[in-house]
Amino acid sequence: MNPWPDQFPLFPEAASTVAGEVDAIYFFGLAVAAFFSLLIAVLVLWFAVRYRRRSEDEIGRPEKAAVLLEIGWSVIPLLILMVMFAWGAKVFYHVRRPPENALEYYVTAKQWMWKFQHPDGNREINHLHVPAGQAIKLIMTSEDVIHSFFVPEFRVKQDVLPGRYTYLWFQSDRPGRYTLFCNEYCGAEHSLMIGSVTVMEPGDYEAWLSAKEPVAGGQQLTGEELFSLQVCDTCHKPDSAARAPMLWGLYGEEVAMADGSVAIADEDYLRESILNPGARIVKGYDAIMPTYAGRLSEDELLQLILYIKSIGPEGDAEVAAAPAAETEADAGSGDEGSTP
């Protein structure tokens, strides 16, 4: 379509699996808008000439209702808009719903940088590396103001908000380096909050990961260390649910609340449970958990949530239930055995 893509780039490269779909609907909307703009402009000019006043004292003719015309210009646009709606909804669902098998990466934005954590715990700043041919899910939060994660080549964009997690997914089958922008004005150096996403062949990615030096400032405590440092483990024991619910296998499960409602233990639920434990009380327990708001950084909170996600295979009810069977028998037997 464009004969000089290098000298005169009209459009960013389409480098993700949804880019084609997004472009198609965009061009459809553009074509409809162009067609009607042109049609209306031509009619305005033509009518102005054709029905112009020809003599000083000419009087206009009375209007006749053109019923068919009226129906036509109501129904045809309606049909076109319904096509846009249905098509747009389909693309929207695809773009918004991460596939089940997506790899999970964590993103923390702050003025004015991006911090990333790989599924294996590796960390990066501003420059994210991911494997090609694999769905990548980002779980994002902000330490300060609203930022926005935008990679034009992937045609995906999502606000990154303080105080909660937002999600974004993409899959790129084209190795290369793509620019990451912060797309929400976030302060003096907003325009410098630029990074990159490098898509690598899976083999190269593995090699890159294993050769990678731990990021500077890597004295970050692990979730497991924080769990005992913050004395979570004095109440949440791996083998007893007497004082507090066991967190083993909790992630992704449904949790019954004291008020009769049911919560899904996703990232936002875990976050709320830690920062604002009084908001929803787990059925059968007293509200004795202290709040950790202001005592944990976003990073520490993330590590704790990752740790809770890692203990107990999700959805594996047999394994998750096994330690629970012994709880009544030896509640209070202290903390023997480490959390797997």
Pick 139 or 282: Cβ nearer ligand HEC: 282
Pick 207 or 231: Cβ nearer ligand HEC: 231
Q: Judging by beta carbons within 10 Å of its beta carbon (0-12, 13-18, 19+), is residue 146 exposed, middle or buried?
A: middle
For residue 212, which of 102, 305, 125 has the smallest C-alpha distance?
125
Alpha-carbon distance 329 to 335, whole Å? 14
For residue 128, which of 109, 114, 140 has the smallest C-alpha distance?
114
For residue 105, which of 86, 120, 85 has the smallest C-alpha distance?
120
Alpha-carbon distance 169 to 101, whole Å? 11
* Residues 6+ positions from 220 with CB-CB distance below 8 Å: 123, 299, 303
Alpha-carbon distance 212 to 197, whole Å? 16
CB of 108 to Cu ion, least distance (A): 12
Q: Which of residues 201-260 bind ligand HEC (CB under 6 A)?
A: 230-232, 234-236, 244-245, 247, 250, 255
* Residues 6+ positions from 148 with CB-CB distance below 8 Å: 157, 158, 159, 160, 182, 183, 184
304 binds, among ligand HEC, Cu ion, none (CB under 5 to 8 A by kind): ligand HEC
Q: Which of residues 144-163 bind Cu ion (CB under 5 A)?
A: 147
- Contact with ligand HEC (CB under 6 A): which of 19, 132, 282, 302? 282
Sign, CA dihedral 58-63-64-67, equals positive
* 289 in contact with ligand HEC (CB under 6 A): yes
Site string for Cu ion, 164-203 (x = CB under 5 A): ------------------x---x------x----------
CB of 263 to ligand HEC, least distance (A): 7
Alpha-carbon distance 123 to 225, whole Å? 18
186 binds, among Cu ion, ligand HEC, none (CB under 5 to 8 A by kind): Cu ion
* Residues 6+ positions from 247 with CB-CB distance below 8 Å: 236, 308, 311
CB of 106 to ligand HEC, least distance (A): 16
244 binds, among ligand HEC, Cu ion, none (CB under 5 to 8 A by kind): ligand HEC
Pick 39 or 229: Cβ nearer ligand HEC: 229
How many CB atoms lie under 10 A from the CB of residue 263? 16
Pick 103 or 281: Cβ nearer ligand HEC: 281
Pick 47 or 185: Cβ nearer Cu ion: 185
193 binds, among Cu ion, ligand HEC, none (CB under 5 to 8 A by kind): Cu ion
Sole window of 1-9, 38-46, 122-130, 285-293 interacting with ligand HEC (rule: CB under 6 A) = 285-293
Lookup: tokens for 165: 């997690």
Pick 192 or 325: Cβ nearer ligand HEC: 325
* 244 in contact with Cu ion (CB under 5 A): no
CB of 309 to ligand HEC, least distance (A): 10
CB of 279 to ligand HEC, least distance (A): 9
SS3 141: strand
Pick 182 or 232: Cβ nearer Cu ion: 182
Residue 177 contacts residue 196 (beta carbons within 8 Å): yes
How many CB atoms lie under 10 A from the CB of residue 176? 14
Chain residues that interact with Cu ion, rule: CB under 5 A: 147, 182, 186, 193
List residues near ligand HEC by CB under 6 A: 230-232, 234-236, 244-245, 247, 250, 255, 265, 270, 273-274, 277, 281-282, 285-289, 292, 304, 308
